[in-house]
Amino acid sequence: MGFWGRAADYLPLLMEGVWLTLVITFFSVVLSTLLGFVWAVMAWTRIPVLVAISRGFVMIIRGIPIIVQLFYIYFVMPEIGINLTAMQAGIIGLGVAYSAYQAENFRAGIDAIDKGQIEAAHSIGMTDQLVMRRVILPQAIRIVLPPFGNTIIMILKDSSLVSTITVAELTRQGQLIAASTFDNMTVFTLVALIYLALSLPLTFLTRHLEKRYSQP
Amino acid sequence: MIQVQDIHKSFGALEVIKGVSFEVKKGEVVCIIGPSGSGKSTILRCINGLESYQRGAISIEGAKVDIADRSITDIRTQVSMVFQRFNLFPHRTALENVMEGPVFVKKVSRAHARDEAAALLDKVGLGSKLGVYPAKLSGGQQQRVAIARALAMHPKAILFDEPTSALDPELVGEVLAVMRDVAAEGMTMVVVTHEMEFARAVADRVLFLEGGTIVEQGPPQDVLRNPQHPRTQDFLHRIIHPME
Ligand SMILES: Nc1ncnc2c1ncn2[C@@H]1O[C@H](COP(=O)(O)OP(=O)(O)OP(=O)(O)O)[C@@H](O)[C@H]1O
Ligand SMILES: [Mg+2]
């Protein structure tokens, strides 16, 4: 049986993994975006306590390998009474870890808006909330979107890390098949090709956004 | 209408406003002149509540301007500001820039706000530029949009911070002309400016500010033509004869 024949044998199992990979990626992107936005807004308020919490959190998260964070959530949390399924732990772990990177991205986008406009908005009576919604966000989104595309790709790839906490996503399915068939060559070539097939469209989308938003 | 009483303001250890008091009556045009760094912008920003002050009191028709109080957004809707660098919203057209405050702050209906914004832009000579983005407008046109944006709030007063200083010389006139029209309609105005011609023609009163205090004030014919204080004389001399 040639490569494609064997590949066809493995594909159904791998596709189950693909499904989980997509689910993890999707929810991790959502969680990291929401949390990252919260950190960025906290930093923006210039309220000392909030700024300190946001900065401190981002610093700590960025200083610890994601895989260690995953182990922490999955293996240590139960000891203090918080039991999560491997899926939940994976999504929370990736979401929280990436929220730190997203926060930096959002902060850069918010900071890039000229202060004069914000003053002008205040001078016509806009509240901070309205300034955020009507002046900062519509402009920041152009700055934030291209790096956001990259972040999605990174999360997609790093979702393979949750294989280490027993989630049977794509990478782990590959490992399992390879362990029982010893056909490392076919299995991991296939796994790599699938990741590529998932990330390439995102790469092109990001490039497109970069081009589209580089001119004002 | 605008009461400024013994205002003090420091940035860290640097005291930039050292006890300034003045009053602006309804319909009055007050010009503030003075050297760079004398605190002109800071005073305007305090009146509009964009900047806090440490001592003294500012009130608009009796309502205290307190940046820490919720009322501050109310006060800002009553006193508009026009900036040196225009500060238009670049992602919105001229029309949208003018509509923004009425629609989102004052909750005026879109249709009504649109009609009024169009009329205001027409009044400042930009009736043909409604759908144009700021990047496609000259500095003078942008500043006229900014004035329309200020007027759209139906403010009790408008503060102008060197509205023509960032403009090419040939564009200064069109902005001053609009400001003169606004003044003629009875708008209360505080104008920081180096345009002595404008001050002479339009101002009811001129304040000369230096080092965070008002050194001299009075009607323009006195302060500008016949200044009493040597500092004012020196400043005006340097403005009129910059090469000496
Ligand atoms: N945010 C700030 N932080 C620290 N110092 C400031 C700040 N804003 C203004 N200053 C200082 O306060 C002083 C007065 O500034 P202000 O902008 O009011 O002067 P100005 O009279 O408007 O000058 P110009 O003609 O250059 O606009 C200056 O010495 C300036 O450096
Ligand atoms: Mg100034």
Summarize pLDDT for A63-77 with one digit per residue, the tens.
999 999 999 999 999
**% of chain B exceeding 70 in pLDDT:** 100
Instruction: Return the pLDDT at B97.
Output: 97
Between CA A93 and CA A96 the distance in angstroms is: 5
3-state secondary structure of A92: helix
Instruction: Return the pLDDT at A215.
Output: 53
Looking at all shown ligands, the one closest to residue B209's CA atom is 1
Between CA A68 and CA A66 the distance in angstroms is: 5
Q: Note whether B76 contacts A117, CB cutoff 8 Å.
A: no
Under 8 Å CB pairs connecting chains A and B tally to 62
Find the residues whose C-beta lies inside 6 A of ligand 1.
B 11, 16, 34, 36-42
Q: Which residue of B has its CA nearest to A127?
A: B73
Residue A99, CA distances (Å) to A36, A49, B9, B164 in order: 4, 19, 40, 45
CB A167 within 8 A of CB A17: no
Report the residue among B41, B67, B191, B210 best suited for mutation to probe ligand 1: largest number of ligand atoms under 8 A from its CB. Answer: B41
Contacts of B85 in chain A (CB under 8 A): 116
Q: In ligand 1, which atom is closest to the CA atom of B35? A: 25
Looking at all shown ligands, the one closest to residue B50's CA atom is 1
**% of chain A exceeding 70 in pLDDT:** 99
Instruction: Return the pLDDT at A96.
Output: 96
User: Could you tell me the pLDDT band of residue B67, with boundaries at 50, 70 and 90?
Assistant: confident
Encoded amino acid at B78, one letter: Q
CA B222 to chain centre: 22
Contacts of A119 in chain B (CB under 8 A): 50, 81, 83, 87
Between CA A26 and CA A82 the distance in angstroms is: 23
User: Could you tell me the pLDDT band of residue A143, with boundaries at 50, 70 and 90?
Assistant: confident
Looking at all shown ligands, the one closest to residue B36's CA atom is 1
Length, in residues, of chain B? 244
ipTM of the complex: 0.92
Instruction: Return the pLDDT at A214.
Output: 63
Tokens representing A66 are: 């994601």
Strand partners, B10: B15
> Is A209 an interface residue toward B (CB < 8 Å)?
no
- Residues of B with a Cβ under 8 Å from any A Cβ are 48, 50, 73-74, 76-77, 80-81, 83, 85, 87-91, 100-101, 104-106, 135, 146, 149-150, 153
HEC sequence for chain B: CEEEEEEEEEECCEEEEEEEEEEECCCCEEEEECCCCCCHHHHHHHHCCCCCCCEEEEEECCEECCCCCCCHHHHHHHEEEECCCCCCCCCCCHHHHHHHHHHHHCCCCHHHHHHHHHHHHHHCCCCCCCCCCHHHCCHHHHHHHHHHHHHCCCCCEEEEECCCCCCCHHHHHHHHHHHHHHHHCCCEEEEECCCHHHHHHHCCEEEEEECCEEEEEECHHHHCCCCCCHHHHHHHHHHHCCCC
Between CA A82 and CA B20 the distance in angstroms is: 61
